[in-house]
Amino acid sequence: MYDSNIMRAPGSQAASIRSYSLFGESSHFPDVLHCETIAARSMLHSWELASHRHSRLHQLLLLRTGRGRAWLESGETAMGRHTLVNIPVGDVHAFSFSPGTQGWVLSLPDELLAQQLANEPTLRQALANAIAIPVRPDVATQLISLFSSLWAAYGEHDIPGRSLVLLGLGSAVLGLAGRALAEASTPAGDSASSRVLGRFEALLERKFASPWRVGDYAKALGVTPTHLSRVARNATGSPISRLVDSRRMREARRQLAYTTASVAAIGELLGFEDPAHFSRVFSRTCGCSPRAFRASVTQLT
């Protein structure tokens, strides 16, 4: 499970911000998703979770009852009954809950999130920033029902169809939460910018396994690199170069996990002429070397 040694009072200083996946960031994600109650982990640490981040997980929290405070990259915010919290991959966050707070935490691997939101640019944009918002009573009722079912299904190990049920319920939570966040957010850009982003994402799916740079994508889309970068940052919070690297490394992880191709061959497949360059980008993006990643996946099979 999680590395339990993640606690430090939210207001105190740590030598560095710890980075976790799930289960302590010590291994590859072992399930299709993860769901647990807020109390399950918070009770072990006096209802406080210190500043940390998840390098490959997107998280959604829903407070059913109780209250607390969230420290997100956008600032400190109060949480109360029916608060929905969105935490994108890599965002630093910390929490302090009142004893007895009830609710759930859903953790989704970045690969799954990318697949589920591939054709949902509005939701993808709404889910790109860390935020805590109170949801309407009708939305809260729906989310509580979905989270309750998801939590129950998560505990049904060795039941046929468990993964399909988890994926379905997890997708429903993601869709409803994304819709609530989209309704609550201020539009980040005009329709023209949204169209540019959509065209870029479609082009990225066709060209990620190539040595294309930001300028190549901008030229193909008929815009300047500066404009393309601005659109990407406004919508996702990340520069174009990081989006490209993230997509290429997602494919690299798949190749490392499910094929026997060498690291050099996988790098070449993804447009890297220099194996060392591929390894550096992979390590920077994924937090470990390609060989270390393959070894960690192999240990779980």
Least confident of 174-188, 216-230, 275-289: 174-188
- Do residues 145 and 196 both lie within one domain? no
Q: What is the pLDDT of residues 113-140, one digit of tens each?
A: 888 888 887 888 888 888 999 999 999 9
- Do residues 176 and 115 both lie within one domain? yes
Which of 168, 184, 200 terminates a domain? The answer is 184
DSSP line for the chain: ---STT---TTS--SS-EEE-SGGGSS---SS-EEEEHHHHHGGGTTEEEEEEESSEEEEEEEEE--EEEEETTEEEEE-TTEEEEE-TT--EEEEE-TT-EEEEEEEEHHHHHHHTTT-HHHHHHTTS-EEEEPPHHHHHHHHHHHHHHHHHHT-TT-TTHHHHHHHHHHHHHHHHHHHHHHHSPP-S-HHHHHHHHHHHHHHHHHTTS---HHHHHHHHTS-HHHHHHHHHHHHSS-HHHHHHHHHHHHHHHHHHH----HHHHHHHTT-S-HHHHHHHHHHHHSS-HHHHHHHHHHT-
* 14 — pLDDT class (breaks 50, 70, 90): very low
Rounded to two decimals, the pTM is 0.63
11, part of any domain:
no
Return the top range by mean pLDDT from 37-46, 120-129, 249-258.
37-46
| CATH number, domain containing residue 161 | 2.60.120.280
- 163, pLDDT greater than 80: yes
10, part of any domain:
no
Instruction: State the pLDDT at residue 96.
Output: 95
- Do residues 198 and 176 both lie within one domain? no
